[in-house]
Amino acid sequence: MTDTAATPPAAAAANPLLQPWQAPHGLPPFGSLRPEHFEPALREAMRQHRAELQAIASQAQPPGFDDTIAAFDRSGALLDRVAAVFYNLTSSATSPALQAVQRTMAAPMAAHSNAVYMDAALFARVDAVHARRHALGLTPEAVRLTERVHLDFVRSGARLAGPEQARYAQVMETLAGLTTRFAQNVLHDETQWCLPLPDEAALAGLPGFVRAAARQAAADRGLPGHVITLSRSLVVPFLAFSDRRDLRETAWRAWVGRGENPGEHDNREVARDILRLRNEQARLHGHASFADHALTDTMAGTRAAVQGLLHEVWPRALVAVERERQALLAVMPAAGQALEPWDWRYYAERVRRERFAIDDAEVKPYFRLENMVQAAFDCAGRLFGLEFTPRDDLPVYHPDVKAYEVRRAGGDVIGVFLQDNFARPGKRSGAWMSALRWQSRNAGPAGAASLPVILNNNNFARGGGGAGAEPTLLSMDDARTLFHEFGHGLHGLLSDVTYRRLSGTQVLRDFVELPSQIFEHWIADPGVLQRHARHWQTGEPIPPELVARLQRAQRFNQGYETVRYTASALVDMAVHALPDAEPPADLCRFEADLLREAGLPPAVGLNHRLVHFQHLFSSSAYAAGYYVYLWAEVLDADGFDAFTEAGSAFDPAVAQRLLRHIYASGNSVAPASAYAAFRGRAATVQPLLKKRGLVTADET
């Protein structure tokens, strides 16, 4: 490995990232951090990591597990902590200065990863331990770590020949810059666009909670009146309630057009460049397409397995969405108006009110954000014995962030949870979980324990400000999102493994969504709603008859939602399965042609178009992997049935199995084995089809 000069002591002393962090639980000194601190800190952390790995690789004694695999797992602690803070800020609270550092450091960080995993001497030791792993008397977890670390090296090009390895390194460094650019382009379009609503005519049809959020969005941007932004928690209710069809169309076109605006932030060629390099990456590994390469390290394993699931669901969803389309047409004006994509949610809301007497304006007052947070905490306590204690004294990176100590009931702290719930300028869209530190018992030479520091980010539209103003009220979908991300958070907080590489959510991509998606079930539990869904003005619990109406309506519009999701998964798999070295010349046309041939109704659309599909193009995490939500939904629907069969959503025996085999085990056990240990068998697809209302008459 190439080494560089150490940071001078004076410079290191002036950089808070390179000093010991003295805050409780070793939290970062957020208040002292500046954009200019990150580049020198990252470069110094990379230098120290290379020195640590050089010491491992140059040992004279034959390679063993402790001095090679476990030592590798411990290495890079400084780099991990600095990079975790950096990437959290660039996602949650970025600025032009931070974005400039992100662009500058994308290639050097990728080059560092290449240097680590392509180091011949280091890989020789890892390879030797891997070859003897079953003869070394290792624990099952140590064997699993050895296999995962070895696979990380192989998938990062360790076995490639000289010229091929050099080219592979170039590809990965270039990809790092392109994915950074893609994400920043989407953020630019989301941040810069807003739709002013200057008068009562523009606000027609909007209930109070949407008006309050639009007023707050304007205030956040220093604008008068009301505005609609491209935050999902604001644009979706606008599309559902606005009587102004022309404004709905304007908002919809801006939302689906992110990343497709001509100029320096146009993602069309950026995405093509990424696809071109991914194809080359796959070919260097001996695979015909990137999808084939990506799926080798998943539960699915092959494109055939993924397509089998998607093609099981797709025709059923098309039948369901056609029933829904007919219902919408029945409530539309009799003549002169075709059903368009900006109409679907608006007329679906009318049908929902007529069929189920459900109106978000009636429901949302019972879903105050603070109450839903407490509902999630209460469910975690009843299931897993956790307590969440607010700690307003802990350092956080933005005033929106709330910090909590997490304890076993009456016991010691097991982690720290940071929750950042609001949409704002400088924060990317969507919802996600991340970690400032992973749980492990291998944090130092003596096997020191490392407590997890876990973050949840959401993008809820903040309620209007001012005295007596409406608080932040969630839709049922928003509440599910909160529970979903909290499920990921619990996966990180409840991790109970020895090695950092196996901790928390660092599992196979089509297993990682199981802990998050299964936790969504508890927000729909009638007992949970009775306890926590209370009217923000009166304090009265949600009426049982309203809960019953919500339950009757839970399959409503599921054809629409399933088609939109599956369409995105089909496009993802199709574009990454192309064997051609050159991607389609026009990705937007490729996407449109594919979906037309598949039978996608034009008025439905899809969740994410390629030009703003951050799951695919802001990193490789979900590339050829957007199917994983559906794959995991097979597991979560089947898995929650274990509680139904036990007679209680809080059955202690089932909850303990869920904790032990799913939430606590991390990647220390193969996913299929972990699920079978929890459920007693493999999952079946029928509970998913029933949950989404996709079963046929003879299957019910």
Residue 572's domain is classified under what CATH number? Answer: 1.10.1370.10
Regarding whether 535 and 561 lie in a shared domain, the answer is no
Tokens 């550092």, located at residue: 101
Q: Dihedral (C-alpha) 503, 507, 513, 519: value to the nearest 10 degrees? A: -30
Regarding whether 416 and 372 lie in a shared domain, the answer is yes
pLDDT (0 to 100) of residue 406: 98
Regarding whether 304 and 395 lie in a shared domain, the answer is no
CA separation, residue 495 to residues 80, 419, 457, 498, 515 (Å) = 18, 18, 20, 9, 12
Q: With the C-alpha atoms ordered 230, 345, 528, 366, is the resulting torsion angle positive or negative?
A: positive
Q: How far apart are the first and last CA of the chain?
A: 62
Regarding whether 299 and 222 lie in a shared domain, the answer is no
Instruction: Give the separation between CA 449 and CA 411, rounded to whole angstroms.
Output: 16
User: Is 561 inside a domain boundary?
Assistant: yes
DSSP 660: I
The 8 Å CB, 24+ separation contacts for 607-612 are 607/564, 607/565, 607/567, 607/568, 608/568, 609/256, 609/259, 609/260, 610/271, 610/571, 610/575, 611/258, 611/259, 611/260, 611/267, 611/268, 611/271, 611/587, 612/186, 612/189, 612/258, 612/259, 612/260, 612/267
pLDDT (0 to 100) of residue 468: 45
Regarding whether 422 and 326 lie in a shared domain, the answer is no
User: Is 67 inside a domain boundary?
Assistant: yes
Range of the domain at 72: 9-159
Per-state percent for the chain, helix, strand, coil, to nearest 5: 60, 5, 35
Regarding whether 410 and 542 lie in a shared domain, the answer is yes
Q: Is 485 part of the annotated catalytic residue set?
A: yes
Query: Of 159, 176, 205, which marks where a domain is finished?
Result: 159
User: Is 636 inside a domain boundary?
Assistant: no
The residue ranges of the chain whose pLDDT is under 50 are 2, 466-468
Instruction: Give the separation between CA 114 and CA 156, rounded to whole angstroms.
Output: 7
Regarding whether 147 and 18 lie in a shared domain, the answer is yes
Find the angle CA(334)-CA(339)-CA(345) to the nearest 5 degrees: 110
- Burial (Cβ within 10 Å: 0-12, 13-18, ≥19) of residue 585: exposed
Yes or no: say if 242 and 205 are a contact pair by the CB < 8 Å rule: yes
User: Is 170 inside a domain boundary?
Assistant: no
User: Is 45 inside a domain boundary?
Assistant: yes
Residue 45 φ then ψ, to 5°: -65, -40
pLDDT (0 to 100) of residue 40: 98
User: Is 672 inside a domain boundary?
Assistant: no
Residue 206: both structure tokens together: 């909007």
Regarding whether 94 and 62 lie in a shared domain, the answer is yes
Report the domain count for the chain.
4
pLDDT (0 to 100) of residue 1: 55
Regarding whether 80 and 60 lie in a shared domain, the answer is yes
Instruction: Give the separation between CA 574 and CA 594, rounded to whole angstroms.
Output: 8
Regarding whether 223 and 280 lie in a shared domain, the answer is no
pLDDT (0 to 100) of residue 465: 62
User: Is 102 inside a domain boundary?
Assistant: yes
User: Is 684 inside a domain boundary?
Assistant: no
Residues paired with residue 583 on neighbouring β-strands, in sequence order: none
Instruction: Give the separation between CA 241 and CA 475, rounded to whole angstroms.
Output: 13
Centre a 10 Å sphere on the Cβ of residue 53 and count the other Cβ atoms it contains. Answer: 20
Q: Which of 398, 393, 390, 391 is nearest to 374 (CA)?
A: 390
Which distant-in-sequence residues (6+ apart) come within 8 Å of 306 by Cβ? Answer: 295, 300, 573, 627, 631
Query: Of 594, 626, 658, which marks where a domain is finished?
Result: 626
Q: Which of 506, 487, 462, 456 is nearest to 621 (CA)?
A: 506
The CATH number for 125's domain is 1.10.1370.40
Q: Which helix (H) or strand (E) holds 43?
A: helix 35-57
Of the candidates 349, 485, 520, 633, the residue annotated as catalytic is 485
Regarding whether 331 and 466 lie in a shared domain, the answer is no
Q: Which of 419, 358, 640, 376 is nearest to 532 (CA)?
A: 376
Helix H, strand E, coil C: the string for 244-266 is: CHHHHHHHHHHHHCCCCCCCCCC
Centre a 10 Å sphere on the Cβ of residue 559 and count the other Cβ atoms it contains. Answer: 24
Centre a 10 Å sphere on the Cβ of residue 268 and count the other Cβ atoms it contains. Answer: 16
Centre a 10 Å sphere on the Cβ of residue 635 and count the other Cβ atoms it contains. Answer: 27
Regarding whether 530 and 419 lie in a shared domain, the answer is yes
Tokens 């199981």, located at residue: 514
Pairing outcome for strands 453-460 and 413-422: parallel
Query: Of 552, 576, 594, which marks where a domain is finished?
Result: 552
